[in-house]
Structure 1
Amino acid sequence: MLHRGQESADGPGGEGLVVPMAWLYAEYIADELLRTGDLMPPTSFEFRAGRDALALTIFLADTHGELSGIRVVTQLETWLSLTAYDQPWQDWVRTRMERLTADAPGSSPDLDLAVATWRWLRETELLAPDLDAVPGDGPVPDEDAGPKVWTPAWRLGLPLGHLAIHLF
């Protein structure tokens, strides 16, 4: 059975392999936004964290099943507000994921990829500069010289995704 945003490899209504089009489109948009922003090398874990956090935001913000038909420019404000520093992004993701898994009668490739991405973002920790350790009035230490902390990937990726949207 095909779900929202999915298409069979044999075309609409086909019985072949189900392609997770909504997830792949969200990931593509996130990848393009981050590459355009040129914030991190595309081969870095930081880039992956940013792409995955942004793709998850894009995918979960698509409440009407329009993802493959949207124009990116019309959604930028929504994505900016969801990824803003003062927003409880992780609570929003958790709530949306619970709602989607409860609403889905069975597993779908789109949702499976979103669940795996959310798990990776939560469970993977990256060594990053401790931004809380920067003195308020003092000089900002060199990124390589300052203190570092293990940070969940989503905490590092979310600001990168937010900044990439701003730079677009």
Structure 2
Amino acid sequence: MQDRGHHSTDGTDGGELTVPMAWLYAEYIAEELLRTGDLMPPTSFEFRAGRDALALTIFLSDTSGELSGIRVVSQLETWLSLTAYDQPWQDWVDERLAQLTAETSASGAPAPDLDLARAAWRWLEETELLAPDLNAVPGGAAPASEDDGPKVWTPAWQLGLPLGHLAIHLF
């Protein structure tokens, strides 16, 4: 497996705590994209869902292990295509996590980045957020405000993914 940014805190790899730089960088890029788009308050669960979905996309799309050296602008098209509405994003995340887990298990190397990515994915899958039910608009007309229409519990990733996609478009 390629080096995914697992560096110890003191420059040695002698069993020291390793810093998950690739995941932290992916999370930073995702947060900056969402803040630039100004779509949700940064303290909201919706923002967290968007950040985690986008960070997973960024982290898992880095197949060459060069995340910290990438130019964000050069990756926007890749991230847009991965987060598009008609793409099987959830299946792609499961497959990439399984692939990276197998590679890490085979190498025996610590994987703090992968641990954080799996935790984010667990949160996105297991957490449900109350969101407007876009399929149940009464009378076929749009409600006067977001709070007026029916609501439905939605997995966080299903809310966060379109937010991340829109944030990339607005960048």
TM-score range, shorter chain: over 0.9
Q: 1:159 aligns with which of 155, 158, 162?
A: 162
Q: In 2, Cα distance between the equivalents of 1:30 and 1:136? A: 37
Alignment of 1:134-149 (within 5 A): 134=137, 138-149=141-152
How many residue pairs match? The answer is: 166
Contact 1:49 1:153 in 2 (8 A): yes
Q: 1:123 aligns with which of 122, 126, 147?
A: 126
Q: In 2, Cα distance between the equivalents of 1:103 and 1:14? A: 19
Contact 1:3 1:108 in 2 (8 A): no
Alignment of 1:9-24 (within 5 A): 9-11=9-11, 13-15=12-14, 16-24=16-24
Computed over aligned residues only, the root mean square deviation of the Cα atoms, in angstroms, reads 1.6
TM-score by length of 1: 0.93
Q: In 1, Cα distance between the equivalents of 2:76 and 2:4? A: 22
Determine the structure 1 residue equivalent to 2:45: 45
Letter of the structure 2 residue corresponding to residue 149 of structure 1: V
TM-score by length of 2: 0.92
- Where has structure 1 moved over 6 Å in runs of 4 or more? none
Kindly, what percent of the aligned residue pairs are identical?
Answer: 78
Q: What's the CA shift for 1:5?
A: 1.4
Letter of the structure 2 residue corresponding to residue 93 of structure 1: V
Structure 1 gap ranges (5+): none
Structure 2 gap ranges (5+): none
Contact 2:3 2:65 in 1 (8 A): no
Contact 1:134 1:141 in 2 (8 A): no
Q: In 2, Cα distance between the equivalents of 1:136 and 1:17? A: 58
Q: In 2, Cα distance between the equivalents of 1:75 and 1:30? A: 12
